Structure 1
Amino acid sequence: MPKAEGSDAPATAASRSTEPKSKKTHRDTAYDSGKTSTGLWWTLFGLILITTAATRFYKLDQPDHICWDETHFGKFGGYYINRTFFFDVHPPLGKMLIGLFGYLDGYNATFAFEKPGDKYEDYPYMGMRAGCAIMGALLVPLSFLTVWEMTFSLPAATFAGVLILLDHGMLTLNRYILLDPPLLFFISASVYTTVKFHNQRHRAFSFHGGSGCLLQEPCWSVQLPSSLLASLSFFLSVSEPLQISGKSSVIFHALCYTVEHFMARALCLIALPIVLYMGIFYIHLRVLYLSGPGDGYFSSAFQTHLEGNFLHNASTPREVAYGSLLTLKNSITGGGYLHSHMHLYPAGVGAKQQQVTTYSHKDGNNRWFIKKFNKPTPLWNSTDSIELVRNGDLIRLEHRPTRRNLHSHKEPAPVSRKHYQVTGYGENGTGDANDVWRLVIEGGAENEPLETMRHKFKLVHYLQNCVLSTTKKTLPKWGYEQQEVTCNPNLRDAAAVWNVEDNRFPRSHAVMFSGNAGLKPKDGELTSRPWMWPINLRGQFFSAGEGVKIYLLGNPIIWWSNLVFMAFYLTLLVVKSIRDRRDIISSPHQKALQERALSACGWLYIGWLLHYVPFWGMGRILYFHHYFPALLFSSMMSGVVIDYLVESIPPLLPAGIRNSAYHLLVGGIVSSLIYSFYLFAPLTYGMSNGPSTEANSTMYGMRWLETWEF
């Protein structure tokens, strides 16, 4: 690779034009190749674009069946086409784009997307795959441009682009109908626009500076971790005016400059992204106006707006009367329905009585009769006068299918051991005094009648003085992985608020975040932990049925090299700090190389930490593909470190071979990466002829770790 960069310090490089320039910079090395050619810049950039497109679209139609999570996101894309409301834990923009790709390709949302392995037959699926592949392909040029803006080094930018281009994991993840391609695209775009804006900080209110800031909005408004990068950029930019000399003559101007930049960034980095984010949700809710499978996750009031939902334009009694058949919904974000079924708590889990849970789906087992504490269930054809349920009343709730009363006693709850167990108890509606509850309307007046959907209330146990609550903790398999219901002695429990949804006398993005945090693995489901990801310990099958098999695994040469180069960066940082403290002077050329590499690697290392470390504190289910946003940063950092090494080593050699040594190093690195891509390419494009342990397998001998399952 011809050398294409001068030895300017990063501060100088950052302030000059971001266009590739023809500029001859003097070096005291004999291997300097001379000019920084605009033609060379565009030649390498174009070659990367062509190679990226070729690798991303090769055999894109294979396998011709559902692969892994295509069963979810292909279905979600179809819901946008036929306007059916659904629930998912992710923000809507990525799924809206998938639906748009399918719509443009003529897909009519009639394919079921039932399970992985189902053939697409004659249904048009290539539009959705191609749209995701295009967004995934853009990661390579965006990474190239990001490193160029950080270093103005063509070799560093090229190495970074090649590392992402030749990674099998990144390639595999970006070829299917998944949320990962748009997610990774918006992360890459947000990083690029951040760096672009930072390079224009000395003329932030010019056209170039303002456009760089505005370009960040659509990126940060759809991806939360990149908003952390926005915060770092925000504080970095605001702190710059304070670095002006502390002389009294410039303090006033520095403060004015700070206020101007603070207000501009508050608008660009906070206000406008929030408006855009909310606008996307508005479109999401306007498009999905038909009742669908996700209704039960949302509040009763929200469901009244969904056409086809039984609450939409429903003629339900406003006030609740004794003898009514009710459905009770927990009012916390993402709360479920009060539910029971015939199954008992197992031995050793409190009293062996009927289970009571919350359940997110509408079901016949969610129905309860409400009756006075001292009277039996009234007959529906009774001629007795109607008596309304009022604030402060003592009541019983009888489960309609099993005819057992809602009951609590001083036995510990199954999961939350400091709470009391809640059960279904009795026979044919007859129980004991532990079935009695006091109904307390939130903010209600004394004797105020209970109203459907409008009122929120608590049920306080008459004897134990605890409140009916849900902990949102998932019960074990004996509880069918439904959510625990308890009686909490803390009467202020925010999760103890309920409302009447269905009364028969014969909110959105917050639910998303709540559902995401509550995801738990199913028994036997292959998951992974964050420590496994950087070392490429285990991959993940995308297609494991008969015929062609696809296995998500990173290019081991790239992934393991990333760790080595990350360690080298940290070592270089420590060594430079020690040398600076001891006033050891480096050559101008070496000093410029170090400052350029450390500056760029510092920000990329922070980006890697922000997209990797938070997973260590997450209790939700995690998969291997969650590491790929962090991989973008570690690969770009590796590109910068490789550039530093190939620039630093030749000057240590005799003058006559420096230029040859440089080109030999570059050629060896690129050749090794290309060869490693060739060796593991069947993981992405399809393995055949059995597992890698068989001699006729396309991957025979390539299982370098026992934990790789192919």
Structure 2
Amino acid sequence: MLAALLKQELTVGEGKEERPGRSPATRRAFSIAWWSCLLSVTIATAVLRAYKIGLPSAATWDEVHFLRFSKHYLTGTFFQDVHPPLGKMIVAAIGYMADQNVSMPIDNDRPYEYPQDQWHILMRMGVSLFGVFQVVTSFLLVWEISRSLSAAYITTLLIVCDSAAHAYNRLILLDPILVWFILQSAYSSVKFWSCRDRPFGVRWWLWLLQTGVCLGLTFAVKYVGAFVVVLVGLQAVYDLWQQYCDTSAGLMNVIKHFLARCVGLVLVPILLYLSTFVLHLHLLHKGANSPGIGFHSAQFRLSFPDHNISRHTPSVVMYGSQVTLLSAVRPSGYLTTSYDLYPPEYGAEHQVIALDMNLDELNAWGFKRVDEGRLADMTSDEYVAQPVAHGDLVRLLNVFTERHLHTHRVRAPITRHMYMATGFGEVDEFYEGSVWRVLLDEPGAEPGVTPLRAVGSWFRLINNRTGCALRPGLSKYPSWGFGAWEAACDPKGVNLKDVHQLWQIDENVNPKVEGTDLKALYEMSTLNKIVELHQVMLNSNSKLKVYDFEGEDGMQKLLRSYPWMWPVLYRGCPGHGTTWHSLYFVGSPHVYFLNLAVLCLLPLLWVVSEVRRQRRPRQPAECSRIREGLLYLLLGWALHYLPFWAMQRILYFHHYLPSFFFSTMISGVVVDGLIGSLERLPLPLGRQFVRPTILAAISAFYVNSFLTNWELAFGVPGDGTSELLVKRFLYFDSWEM
């Protein structure tokens, strides 16, 4: 009886057809077995995720980032990140319900240890719920494809017993949220596909709209969600092609299907995605002086309600005014300097000129005429305000360090084909390399007439001696430059098509000049702010790469990995919590190697399936459904894995998690099919014992493997020697702590 129930293909649920000949008792027994299996794996997952979830008792891996982002949302302070906002807003909502302590300072300079109160446990438990949802959705997705309870059970067993899936889902990260939305998108699209024989019905529309909602939510967490968008899009294209090839239906039917998918799979996700940014900007209402505001333009900064100085800011830049220079390149930031000098090996021990994302006193510059010694005293009664105009020759003095912006024909430290920009020359000293020509990027600008305006003008600074144009370099400074973005001077000179040469005046302080309401002139609309947020995110993502000007950083080299390493578990990722608790994020070899073997076996199985289909054209609908489902899962695995091979950004082991779930679902379906093949063989003990025996053996094996890999799933506590302890449980020499 148990064997019959495990391999049942009976459909349960509302609106599903029941197979004839099944007695009510059989259907009731199967329903009980189905729900018992689902509830068992759900409860087991929830219990394991919650077990000692407070360890490590310090922010682990990227938890420090998302705790800081959650704090920003709860305090309303603007921040910039490389990911869309939805996942971070969900974490913030969990932090709000858990009463997160926002008074605790959170930074990357030291390990963040959780305080005595237990809000961090509640936040971890809130995020871990998404890990439980992953298991439930995987179960339902495999069931929808295979109609096999044992296939769904094997899939969830492998997921629950994997150390990486377990460890990542116990921390305050975006990955649990992202993976569940990906799985839910795939499940909704499969359910929608199952309704294709009854188009435009209520259930058909509900699953179409739910698929669109899930796609929008996925893409609003991380841009990795684009892969599942492509997956569902390919399914929609295939479905439309079938509609087109159906000669029994007219062209109008194809148009109706096309328009319905445009609404459900395009319009709904886009509107939902954009709405998350509207909410993001509404929640983060304090940002005029927030850390990282240099990522954005001066117009964007003006839009914050706490930007009160705009009504007192002169619209025209005068000689002697204290200003900040903001690069047009996102993200680069404000032109800045300090008392730190370039190392001697770079040719000139002058002050380092860089670009800083934060506003502080080091960003303050003053415009001087070429023949002026000291900066004009704006507090003096003799001060006469004269505007800086297009074509003027000026010198720029840093108000804090009292050094001029200077350049000479010495190679920049990082961008070697450009000249070095430095801070050089005392207040009363005159050097030709410190003279710059102001060129406004405005058609029809008249030399000596058209004034330089705060916020409203874009301009270039061209060195009068070398002819080079000041701009951001191509990379960041190493540790001696505190990781700030390099400022350099392009020897090619003026290039009207190069936006990297453009600058903007943000702050413009001059008490002798009447202020102007700059908000009324330049404040951005919500749509324009969303566009700029995307520009910054895309530019920031493009810069997530290794900068090896001093050799690859040791920690980065330890943490990063390559796509070919992930399926074979060549390298995981260390996740140090504290000196008394260490984690190593890596998958369970027992699970990953089974997935790898099944993926390698799929081509052979596919050939066998095609041969059987050709020899027996009238195969049951079950075979066609499973074949289509396996192709869908395989495409999902490929779309979430293969694109990483072409990426030049820094990659880590957790980028394989979505692909892992798809490959595990493939394993569940294939292993179940192999068990079914064994049942058809003539066996002396009876076919009814084959499936229960194999499932019991698989369960015992993987439960034992989870216990064997306990330290990989939960980490290793110890008295200052946890790193040495966890090394005892690393399987391969390539696994480095």
Aligned residues of 2:94 and 2:123 also touching (Cα < 8 A): yes
Aligned residues of 1:238 and 1:262 also touching (Cα < 8 A): no
In structure 2, the CA distance between the partners of 1:574 and 1:429, relative to structure 1 (3 Å rule), is farther
Following superposition, the deviation at residue 173 of structure 1 comes to 1.0
CA distance in structure 2 between the aligned counterparts of 1:449 and 1:561, rounded to whole angstroms: 70
1:6-405 equivalence runs, <5 A: 23=19, 37-114=30-107, 115-116=110-111, 118-222=113-217, 223=219, 224-243=223-242, 250=248, 253-291=249-287, 292-308=290-306, 312-313=309-310, 315-349=312-346, 351-380=348-377, 381=380, 383=382, 385-405=384-404
Question: Mean Cα displacement is larger for which, 629-638 or 342-351?
Answer: 342-351
CA distance in structure 2 between the aligned counterparts of 1:136 and 1:374, rounded to whole angstroms: 68
CA distance in structure 2 between the aligned counterparts of 1:640 and 1:36, rounded to whole angstroms: 23
Following superposition, the deviation at residue 155 of structure 1 comes to 2.0
CA distance in structure 2 between the aligned counterparts of 1:34 and 1:275, rounded to whole angstroms: 43
Equivalent in 686, 692, 707 of residue 678 of structure 1:
707
Do structure 1's residue 664 and structure 2's residue 686 form an aligned pair?
A: no
Q: Deviations over 1:533-584 (max 9, x none)?
A: 222233334444344444323222001211111111133335556x48xx96
Aligned residues of 1:201 and 1:237 also touching (Cα < 8 A): no
Letter in 2 for 1:682: E
Aligned residues of 2:336 and 2:363 also touching (Cα < 8 A): yes
Following superposition, the deviation at residue 665 of structure 1 comes to 2.3
Q: Name the TM-score, length of structure 1 as normaliser.
A: 0.88
**What does residue 615 of structure 2 align with?**
585
CA distance in structure 2 between the aligned counterparts of 1:7 and 1:47, rounded to whole angstroms: 19
Equivalent in 493, 498, 502 of residue 498 of structure 2:
493
Letter in 2 for 1:469: R
Aligned residues of 1:438 and 1:459 also touching (Cα < 8 A): yes
Equivalent in 501, 505, 508 of residue 503 of structure 1:
508
Q: Secondary structure at the match of 1:533?
A: helix
CA distance in structure 1 between the aligned counterparts of 2:383 and 2:310, rounded to whole angstroms: 29
In structure 2, the CA distance between the partners of 1:610 and 1:242, relative to structure 1 (3 Å rule), is closer
In structure 2, the CA distance between the partners of 1:117 and 1:451, relative to structure 1 (3 Å rule), is closer
**What does residue 707 of structure 1 align with?**
734
Following superposition, the deviation at residue 212 of structure 1 comes to 0.9
Letter in 2 for 1:553: V
CA distance in structure 2 between the aligned counterparts of 1:693 and 1:303, rounded to whole angstroms: 45
Letter in 2 for 1:648: S
Following superposition, the deviation at residue 671 of structure 1 comes to 1.7
Following superposition, the deviation at residue 245 of structure 1 comes to 8.1
Q: Deviations over 1:476-521 (max 9, x none)?
A: 3333221122223261212222110111226434323332332356
Following superposition, the deviation at residue 307 of structure 1 comes to 4.8
Following superposition, the deviation at residue 145 of structure 1 comes to 1.0
Aligned residues: 688
In structure 2, the CA distance between the partners of 1:148 and 1:106, relative to structure 1 (3 Å rule), is same
CA distance in structure 2 between the aligned counterparts of 1:139 and 1:246, rounded to whole angstroms: 36
Letter in 2 for 1:704: Y
Letter in 2 for 1:315: H
Question: Mean Cα displacement is larger for which, 57-66 or 95-104?
Answer: 57-66
Letter in 1 for 2:600: A
CA distance in structure 2 between the aligned counterparts of 1:52 and 1:264, rounded to whole angstroms: 38
Following superposition, the deviation at residue 58 of structure 1 comes to 1.9
Q: Name the TM-score, length of structure 2 as normaliser.
A: 0.85
Following superposition, the deviation at residue 88 of structure 1 comes to 2.2
Aligned residues of 2:387 and 2:451 also touching (Cα < 8 A): yes
Aligned residues of 1:191 and 1:226 also touching (Cα < 8 A): no
Equivalent in 426, 440, 463 of residue 461 of structure 1:
463
Letter in 1 for 2:209: L
Following superposition, the deviation at residue 5 of structure 1 comes to 7.9
Structure 1 unaligned runs (5+)? Answer: 27-32
In structure 2, the CA distance between the partners of 1:630 and 1:688, relative to structure 1 (3 Å rule), is same
In structure 2, the CA distance between the partners of 1:215 and 1:650, relative to structure 1 (3 Å rule), is same
Moved over 6 A (4+): 5-8, 16-21, 33-36, 591-594, 690-694
Q: Secondary structure at the match of 1:453?
A: coil
In structure 2, the CA distance between the partners of 1:570 and 1:25, relative to structure 1 (3 Å rule), is farther
Q: Deviations over 1:561-617 (max 9, x none)?
A: 11111111133335556x48xx9626977x877655542232222222222233333
Aligned residues of 1:303 and 1:312 also touching (Cα < 8 A): no
Aligned residues of 2:56 and 2:578 also touching (Cα < 8 A): no
**What does residue 29 of structure 1 align with?**
none
Q: Secondary structure at the match of 2:672?
A: helix
CA distance in structure 1 between the aligned counterparts of 2:123 and 2:245, rounded to whole angstroms: 57
In structure 2, the CA distance between the partners of 1:275 and 1:327, relative to structure 1 (3 Å rule), is same
Q: Deviations over 1:294-331 (max 9, x none)?
A: 3332222222333555x654512211011222210112
Structure 2 unaligned runs (5+)? Answer: 512-531, 547-551
Following superposition, the deviation at residue 81 of structure 1 comes to 1.9
In structure 2, the CA distance between the partners of 1:168 and 1:391, relative to structure 1 (3 Å rule), is same
CA distance in structure 1 between the aligned counterparts of 2:234 and 2:567, rounded to whole angstroms: 30
Question: Mean Cα displacement is larger for which, 55-64 or 318-327?
Answer: 55-64
**What does residue 30 of structure 1 align with?**
none
Following superposition, the deviation at residue 374 of structure 1 comes to 4.0
Letter in 1 for 2:472: T
CA distance in structure 2 between the aligned counterparts of 1:6 and 1:660, rounded to whole angstroms: 12
**What does residue 518 of structure 2 align with?**
none
Aligned residues of 2:473 and 2:488 also touching (Cα < 8 A): yes
**What does residue 435 of structure 1 align with?**
434
Aligned residues of 1:7 and 1:25 also touching (Cα < 8 A): no
In structure 2, the CA distance between the partners of 1:120 and 1:20, relative to structure 1 (3 Å rule), is farther
Q: Secondary structure at the match of 2:709?
A: helix
Q: Secondary structure at the match of 1:62?
A: coil
In structure 2, the CA distance between the partners of 1:3 and 1:388, relative to structure 1 (3 Å rule), is farther
**What does residue 523 of structure 2 align with?**
none
Aligned residues of 2:243 and 2:254 also touching (Cα < 8 A): no
Following superposition, the deviation at residue 668 of structure 1 comes to 1.8
**What does residue 414 of structure 1 align with?**
413
**What does residue 524 of structure 1 align with?**
554
Aligned residues of 2:716 and 2:722 also touching (Cα < 8 A): no
In structure 2, the CA distance between the partners of 1:3 and 1:78, relative to structure 1 (3 Å rule), is farther
